[in-house]
Chain A
Amino acid sequence: MFKNTELTGGLLLLAFGLWVGIIAVGYPLGSFADMGPGIFPLMVAAAITLCAVPIVVSALKPSGETAEPIPFHTLLVVVGALATFAVFVVFLGLVPAVLALVVVVSYPDQPRNWVHIALIAAGLAALAYAIFILGLNMNIAAFKWGL
Chain B
Amino acid sequence: MMEGFFGNLLFGLETAFVPMNLLYCFIGVFLGTLVGVLPGIGALAAISMLMPLTFYVPPETALIMLAGIYYGTQYGGSTASILLNLPGTPSSAVACLDGYPMSKQGRSGVALAMTTVSSFIGATFGILVLMLFAQILARVGTSFAAADYFSLMLLGLVASSTMASGSAIKGIAMVLVGLALGLVGTDVQTGAQRFTFGSIQLADGINLIALSMGLFGVTEVISNLAKREHSHTVQNVSMRSLIPTRQDVRQSIMPIARGTGLGAFLGALPGTGTNLASFLAYVAEKRVAKDPSRFGKGAIEGVVAPEAANNTAAQTAFVPTLTLGIPGDAVMALLLGVLIMHGIQPGPRLISEQPELFWGLVASFWIGNLILLVLNLPLIGIWVRMLMIPRKILMPAILMFMCIGVYSVNNNVFDIGVMIAFGVIGCFMARFGFEAAPLILGFILGPLVEQYMKRALLLSSGDPMVFLERPISAGFLTATALILIWMLFGAIRGKKQGITI
Contacts from A to B (Cβ < 8 Å): 5-6, 8-9, 12-13, 16-17, 20, 23, 27-28, 31-37, 40-41, 44-45, 47-48, 51-52, 54-55, 67-71, 73-75, 77-79, 81-83, 85-87, 89-90, 94, 97-98, 101-102, 105-106, 109, 116, 120-121, 123-124, 127-128, 132, 136, 138-140
Contact = CB atoms under 8 A, between A and B. Distances in A.
Interface string B170-208: 101100110110010001011010110000000000000
A68 B431 contact: yes
A33 B195 CA distance: 23
Interface of B: 53, 56, 169-170, 172-173, 176-177, 179-180, 183, 187, 189-190, 192, 194-195, 218, 221-223, 225-226, 392-393, 395-397, 399-400, 402-404, 407-408, 411, 413, 416-417, 419-420, 423-424, 427-428, 430-434, 450, 453-454, 457-458, 460-464, 491
Chain A interface, >50% SS class: helix
A48 B177 contact: yes
Contacts of B190: 28, 36-37
B434 A9 contact: yes
Query: Which has the most chain A C-beta neighbours within 10 Å: B392, B403, B419, B458?
Result: B403
A10 to B, nearest CB: 8
A47 B183 CA distance: 15
Contacts of A139: 411
Contacts of A35: 189, 453-454, 457-458
B192 A28 contact: yes
Query: Which has the most chain A C-beta neighbours within 10 Å: B173, B183, B407, B434?
Result: B173
B432 A6 contact: yes
B251 to A, nearest CB: 39
30 contacts: A6-B432, A6-B433, A27-B192, A35-B454, A35-B457, A36-B192, A40-B450, A41-B183, A44-B179, A51-B172, A51-B173, A54-B169, A67-B430, A70-B427, A70-B430, A71-B222, A74-B225, A74-B226, A78-B218, A79-B423, A82-B399, A82-B423, A83-B416, A85-B403, A86-B420, A101-B396, A102-B400, A124-B396, A136-B56, A139-B411
A47 B417 CA distance: 29
A60 to B, nearest CB: 15
A139 B464 CA distance: 50
Contacts of B179: 44
A104 B485 CA distance: 50
B225 A5 contact: no
A144 B426 CA distance: 33
B396 A120 contact: yes
Contacts of A138: 408
Contacts of B461: 33
B192 A5 contact: no
Chain B interface, >50% SS class: helix
A78 to B, nearest CB: 5
Given A82-B218, A83-B416, 14 more contacts: A12-B432, A13-B434, A28-B190, A37-B192, A40-B450, A48-B173, A51-B169, A51-B173, A54-B169, A67-B433, A78-B423, A82-B419, A83-B420, A98-B400
Given A55-B169, A55-B170, A101 B399 contact: yes
B56 A78 contact: no
B432 A9 contact: yes
Contacts of B402: 82
B378 to A, nearest CB: 27
A82 B407 contact: no
Contact of A85 (B173, B392, B416): B416
A54 B487 CA distance: 13
Contacts of B392: 106, 109, 116, 120
Contacts of B399: 78, 81-82, 85, 101, 105
A97 B195 CA distance: 32
A23 B404 contact: no
A70 B221 CA distance: 13
A65 to B, nearest CB: 8
A19 to B, nearest CB: 10
Contacts of A54: 169, 491
Nearest to A30: B190
